[in-house]
Amino acid sequence: MNLMYPNLLFWMYVVLTLAEPPYIVPFKELDNADLYVQMDPNKIPKFLTKPSTYTVVTKDTIVLPCEVYNPGHFVLAWKKGIAILTAGITKVTPEERIRIVEGYNLEIRNAQINDAGNYICQIGTLDPVELKHTLQILIPPRIVGITSNGKVSAKKGSDVILQCNSTGNPPPTITWTRKNNMLPNGEKSFVGNSYTIDSVRRQDDGVYICTASSTIGSSVSEEIDLNILYPPEVKEERSIVFTVEGQETQIVCIVHAEPKAEVLWYRDTLQLDMTEWRITDVRGNRYTLGLRKVQKTDFGNYSCVADNGLGKSKRFIEVTGRPDVAVITSSKQGRSKNSYEMLWTVKSYSPILEYKLLYRQDRTNKSNQEIQYKRPMRRWDDDWTEILINPASTDQLEKRRTETIRGLDSGTRYEATVQSKNRYGWSEVSQPFFFTTSTKNEAHPGNSVLSDPELRDMSITAINKASKMIQIPLLCIVAVITYYLA
């Protein structure tokens, strides 16, 4: 049975070969005229749409046009790369967002990033004709990554690089700002994908904002919280605290540290325990030691010591009942040739018992310039002139005093200092004060020229001489009259 089929096929071949047409036509060469059907040039399909580049924002809808003149019975197809999207009105691609609309235009809904590329509308002639459109997808800016997910810690003095990575089409511009502050370089903003801070300081901590923006969509931002780790930095609010017995007093240290520091208080070298008369308070970076009722034994040197594991720092503060340093407030230009009126103020909780006013001609450009301002008493070999003043007692906190210095040279620059003393001792010497006497005496309104001591003395001398000149002739006349009457 199996041998029948080869024989049968053989005899079919023989019959068909010997038979007359139309059973089989012997092979012959065909020319171009036989291969291609000649077409009327007026009936050849043509594209009325020009190739173009289209842009669309993601999630929007775009229609790619393909208008054909005289399409006839030829098949129109859309393809992207080698992928066939449609053939005629039949959709080949399984993508639900793509369809044919209004003739043979290709509609793409809810555009995605991967929709970008070249789209070809093709006429299925023997020599296919193609129309190519380029589709660009515009992508709003998006930040895809920031340094350490927005939490950055760095030690003081190290270099810090803040990074902000973004995507988008066109590529976004990254702008750096600082929340409620200027950038460390003193600028308000900086443009770049990264921002570098060299040798960070504690003042550089805070929230840094990177903003991605472009011509498409809205700008987006991310925040990076920069935390600087550093040993304690301590500053006393006042290096000397002036008070009096029985008064409540506060000693304050400002402490900056990260991580937060532990602060201990000492008097001399003894760590202080807290009692009902001695308490501490912490408000932010402000650390306070309160002395509720100062005793004389509370006077002395205190220190606040801050430690956070990265380092230790301390500051010293003196609590005293002595007067504060005097502040000289008088004018630097005198009104008189040979005298000067000096005015100063001083704060003291106790009455001032004595003032010490020292003055001398300015020695700025002279030899032996070194001056010992801390000594309350004048040295025997210096050229200071000392005036001791015992003021009237007053309970006012701020005391004012005016003192006239006499016997000065005219048109001369002088240097002066003031010290104050109460029952607790002498204050520090005031800052050097320089004043210059006048080259002539200024007449005060309402006063005569005789108010100047020198002019007054000259006037009195002139009057005395005139009176003597008048007395001599009068005596002669009296003598002559007496002689004749006798």
463 torsion bin: left (phi>0), alpha (psi -120 to 50), beta (else): alpha
Look up residue 129 and give its two tokens: 């004709």
Q: How many CB atoms lie within 10 A of CB 124?
A: 15
- In angstroms and rounded to an integer, the radius of gyration of the C-alpha atoms of the chain is 53
Residue-level pLDDT at 444: 52
- The helix/strand/coil state of 454 is helix
CA distances to 234, 248, 282, 299 from 279, in Å: 20, 11, 11, 16
Q: Which of 285, 241, 281 is nearest to 265 (CA)?
A: 281
Q: Which of 167, 149, 144, 160 is nearest to 195 (CA)?
A: 160
- Domains, the chain, in order of start with CATH, read 58-137 (2.60.40.10), 140-230 (2.60.40.10), 237-320 (2.60.40.10), 327-364+383-436 (2.60.40.10)
- The helix/strand/coil state of 405 is strand
Residue-level pLDDT at 72: 82
Residue-level pLDDT at 376: 44
Q: How many CB atoms lie within 10 A of CB 76?
A: 20
Could you tell me the pTM of the whole model?
A: 0.60
State the DSSP H helix or E strand holding residue 7, giving kind and residue range, or none if neither.
Answer: helix 4-18
Count, residues in the chain: 486
Residue-level pLDDT at 476: 54
Please list the ranges in the chain whose pLDDT falls under 70.
1-42, 365-382, 443-486
Q: How is 175-196 classified by DSSP, letter by letter?
A: EEEETTB--TTS-S-EESSEEE
Are the CB atoms for 255 and 285 separated by under 8 Å? yes
Note if the bond before 172 is cis, omega within 30 degrees: no
Q: How far is the C-alpha of 259 from the C-alpha of 431, rounded, in Å? A: 40
Q: How far is the C-alpha of 37 from the C-alpha of 289, rounded, in Å? A: 109
Q: How many helices (H) and strands (E) does the chain have?
A: 3, 34
Q: How many CB atoms lie within 10 A of CB 425?
A: 13
Q: How many CB atoms lie within 10 A of CB 324?
A: 19
Are the CB atoms for 421 and 427 separated by under 8 Å? yes
Are the CB atoms for 213 and 173 separated by under 8 Å? yes
Are the CB atoms for 253 and 225 separated by under 8 Å? no
Are the CB atoms for 290 and 281 separated by under 8 Å? yes
* CB neighbour burial string for 159-176, b if at least 16 within 10 angstroms, e if fewer: ebebbbbbebbeebbbbb
Residue-level pLDDT at 11: 42
Residue-level pLDDT at 43: 74
Residue-level pLDDT at 89: 85
Contacts of 224 (CB under 8 A, 6+ apart): 146, 147, 148, 150, 151, 152, 162, 164, 207, 208, 209, 210
Q: Which of 419, 448, 277 is nearest to 359 (CA)?
A: 419
